[in-house]
Amino acid sequence: MSLILPPPRPTTVFPVLARGETVPDALRGAVVAIGNFDGVHRGHKHVVEAARGAAAREGRPVVVMTFEPHPRSYFQPDVPLFRLSDAAAKVRLLAGLGIDALAVLPFDRTLAETSADAFETGLLVEWLGAAVVVVGRDFHYGARRGGNAETLRKAGLAKGFGVVQVEALDSDAGTISSSAIRHALAAGDLDAANGQLGHSWFVSATVIHGEKRGRTLGYPTANLRLDPACSPRHGIYAVKVGLDGRWLDGVASFGRRPTFDNGAPLLEVHVFDLNESLYDRELDIVFAGYIRGEAKFDSLEALIAQMDQDSRDARNILNRG
C-alpha cells in the first residue's frame, strides 16, 4: 500500500476523560464506541465510523472508551505484549478520526472485578449517559468476561441506550486483527501489516546518546530505545522521520548490532541530508519498507559498502511511496 503518514499531534488539548471525572454536559448522551483499539487498525476504524454515522444521524457527540494498560498486560503481567500503539499514539490516531473525546479507563483490579451490570449502569449510564453503544464482533466486558453484545442489547432495552454491533473486516490475508498485524511485523511483512492497519506503522521515542559509531562510518544515527516488547523483525528499513512538523527521509536499523556488541535491541535512524543535533528530541519513525535482515560483517569496509547500498534502496522505496 502507499505510504500513509500518521495524523499530526493534536495542537490543542484533546478531551481525555478519566474515570470519576465529571463529564461535561456537551459530551453526555454521546454515541460511545468501546474497545482496546491497539494499533487503531482498519477494523477499529470501522467501529468508530459506525459510531460517527450513528452520531451524525442523531446529532450527538462521539466518545471512544478504551483501556490502559491493555487488559492482557493486567491478566498476564509476565508475558510481554507487543503494543502496536502506545497510549499517546492511540490518543493521536483516535483523535485523527474526528471523535469528540476519549474516555480512558485504567485497567486495574477495580475494573477487572466490575460486574457486567455495574459496567452498564455505573459507567455507561451514570457516568457517560450513553445514548448508543457501538462494539465490535467479539466484544466482552465485565468480570470474567461475563457480558457480551447480546447481554449489552438486553441491558440497553432496560436501561435506555441503543446498541450497534459491527462485524469484523476482512483483508486479503484474512480477518483484520491486532494479532495478525503483530505477526506480520515480526516477519518483516510491512505490506501486510500496513494494509491491515490502514496507515503506515510508526513508533515515537526520544533520541538518546549512544556509542556514536555512526559518525565514524559516515552515517550519524539517532538512537531510540523502544519498549522491550516491541518486536518488529530485526533488520534494515526505509523510514520517514517526523521532526517538528517536518517529514524527512531516512534509513534505520532495528536490532542487536551483531558486528559490534550484539546488545539489547535498539532503533538506529540515519536521516538523509540533515545537519542538526537530535539528542533529547522526540521523533516519529514511520516504517515504509523492509530492506534486508540484520547481518554481521567481517570488516568496517564491508559494512560501509552495505550501508551505502541500504541507503540507495531506502531512497528508492521512499521515492516510490
Q: Which domains does the chain have, with CATH numbers?
A: 16-171 (3.40.50.620), 202-320 (2.40.30.30)
Q: Is 112 helix (H, G, I), strand (E, B) or coil?
A: helix
Specify the DSSP class assigned to residue 96: T
Rg for the chain, CA atoms, rounded: 22
Element (H, E) at 208: strand 202-208
Contacts (Cβ under 8 Å, ≥6 apart) of 109:
none
Cα separations in angstroms, 26 against 22, 59, 63, 101, 297: 11, 12, 11, 10, 61
- Sequence-ordered alpha helix ranges (H) in the chain: 42-58, 71-75, 87-95, 109-112, 116-118, 149-159, 178-186, 190-197, 213-217, 300-320
Return d(Cα 304, Cα 311) in angstroms, integer: 10
Q: Is 218 exposed, middle or buried (0-12, 13-18, 19+ CB in 10 A)?
A: exposed
Give the closest residue to 315 by CA, choosing from 285, 276, 273, 261.
273
pLDDT in tens, the chain (321 residues): 689 999 988 766 789 999 989 999 999 999 999 999 999 999 999 999 999 999 999 999 999 999 999 999 999 999 999 999 999 999 999 999 999 999 999 999 999 999 999 999 999 999 999 999 999 988 999 999 999 999 999 999 999 999 999 998 877 767 899 999 999 999 999 999 999 999 999 999 999 987 667 677 889 999 999 999 999 999 999 999 999 999 999 999 999 988 888 788 999 999 999 989 999 999 999 999 999 999 999 999 999 999 999 999 999 999 987
Query: Is the full-model pTM beyond 0.85?
Result: yes
pLDDT one-digit tens code per residue, 180-194: 999 999 999 999 999
Q: Is 148 helix (H, G, I), strand (E, B) or coil?
A: strand
Distance of CA 120 to the CA centre of its chain: 27
Return d(Cα 181, Cα 194) in angstroms, integer: 8
Q: Which pLDDT score, from 0 to 100, does residue 1 have? A: 64
Cα-based angle 49, 15, 82 (whole degrees, multiple of 5): 65
Grid coordinates of 56: 451524525
Cα separations in angstroms, 207 against 204, 219, 226: 10, 16, 10
Q: In terms of C-beta distances under 8 Å and separation of at least 24 residues, what long-range contacts does 153-157 make, across chains too?
A: 155/116, 155/117, 155/120
Q: Which pLDDT score, from 0 to 100, does residue 263 have? A: 81
Task: Tell how strand 101-106 and strand 16-18 pair up.
Answer: parallel
Specify the DSSP class assigned to residue 265: -
Distance of CA 248 to the CA centre of its chain: 21
Cα-based angle 51, 55, 59 (whole degrees, multiple of 5): 175
CB 64 within 8 A of CB 47: no
